[in-house]
């Protein structure tokens, strides 16, 4: 139970990677606050975490809305105390609306950039002062292999995920002396709501390009989160871990 007496926050925790991460951090001993738009999924995650014996606070919030983010972190501080670990995980491409660059609307760009990049900065801003003061903190963000590979129709998403890596490195440098680490995880194709919504030919093409010949499981990303949050990762900052079954190797 390496995270006993720690408080973690996971965004986008109503399903997929966020749910697996929240559950894993609770199994590691942390009390966990989970944030998402999807209230039903959030409640399911809360029940799963309660099964571990740890405290869990579920807050429904829209991460596109800064006021909603501030109110959410205030509620978390009032209920669970200071945040030690933040997993910025909510995100995704413009579902069903992915378009070639000239055809993507400005609204699509704003939404994808705001959810995948600006909300990461907004959530981090809510906890970084306290972490600095207490000289302890772990910021972990879900980026994507798309930050490296790119893909037609994903200019907005790839730009946002690459932006996370720049944010991670710069913040890590700013905050290193305060014992706050800042790292990112770059998942490959992971079986979640995002892949469930992909057309079959897209899935088959993805599978053919994965050296390990299968999609990853959300729990395999949660292991990486658990590592970055663990005492064993105390000297690891400003970096990323690709968890992609070898997909970026060719
Ligand atoms: N699944 C993959 O193949 C894959 C690959 C690389 C990166 N990722 C990244 O992993 C992260 C998690 O995605 P996932 O695959 O678990 O998909 P998912 O759809 O299961 O989870 C995303 C969660 O984010 C929540 N969310 C979306 N918009 C929100 C908003 N405005 N406010 C609050 N919550 C919001 C959703 O309700 C959902 O629960 C994302 O950042 C995604 O970009 C996923």
CB 127 within 8 A of CB 86: yes
Pairing between β-strand 56-60 and β-strand 85-88 as defined by DSSP bridges: unpaired
pLDDT confidence bin for 248, thresholds 50/70/90: confident
Substitution site in 11, 14, 16 for ligand 1 pocket (most atoms within 8 Å of beta carbon): 16
Of ligand 1's atoms, which has the minimum distance to the CA of residue 115? 31
Give me the pLDDT at residue 30, please: 98
Ligand 1 centroid–CA 132 distance in Å is: 28
Q: What is the pLDDT of residue 44?
A: 98
Helix residue ranges per DSSP H, the chain: 16-27, 39-50, 66-80, 106-113, 119-134, 146-149, 155-175, 193-196, 200-208, 218-229
User: What average pLDDT is seen over the chain?
Assistant: 96
Give me the pLDDT at residue 195, please: 87
Instruction: Report the nearest atom of ligand 1 relative to the CA of 18.
Output: 16
* Across 41-53, average pLDDT: 98
What three-state secondary structure class fits 131? helix
For 142-191, write each residue's pLDDT tens digit: 999 999 999 889 999 999 999 999 999 999 999 999 999 999 999 999 99
CATH code assigned to 7-241: 3.40.50.720
Ordered by start, the domain boundaries in the chain are 7-241
| pTM (predicted TM-score) | 0.98
> Could you give phi then psi for residue 36, rounded to 5 degrees?
-170, 165
């Amino acid at each position: 139970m390496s995270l006993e007496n720690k408080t973690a926050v996971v965004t986008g925790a109503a399903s997929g990677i966020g749910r697996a991460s929240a559950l894993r951090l609770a199994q590691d001993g942390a009390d966990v606050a989970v944030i998402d738009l999807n209230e039903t999924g959030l409640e399911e995650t809360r029940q799963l975490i309660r099964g571990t014996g740890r405290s869990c606070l579920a807050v429904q919030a829209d991460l596109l809305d800064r006021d909603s983010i501030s109110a959410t972190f205030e509620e978390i501080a009032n209920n669970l105390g200071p945040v030690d670990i933040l997993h910025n995980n909510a995100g995704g491409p413009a579902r069903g609306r992915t378009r070639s660059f000239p055809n993507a609307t400005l609204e699509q760009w704003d939404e994808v950039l705001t959810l995948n990049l600006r909300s990461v900065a907004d959530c981090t801003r809510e906890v970084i002062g306290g972490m600095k003061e207490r000289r302890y903190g772990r910021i972990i963000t879900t980026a994507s292999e798309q930050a490296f590979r790119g893909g037609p129709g994903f200019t907005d998403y790839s730009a946002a995920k690459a932006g996370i890596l720049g944010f991670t490195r710069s913040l890590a440098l700013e905050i290193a002396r305060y014992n706050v680490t800042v790292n990112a995880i770059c998942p490959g194709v992971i079986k979640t709501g995002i892949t469930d919504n992909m057309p079959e030919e897209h899935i088959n093409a993805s599978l053919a390009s994965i050296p390990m010949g299968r999609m990853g499981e959300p729990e395999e990303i949660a292991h990486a989160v658990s590592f970055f949050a663990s005492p064993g990762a105390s000297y690891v900052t400003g970096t990323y871990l690709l968890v992609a079954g070898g997909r970026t190797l060719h």
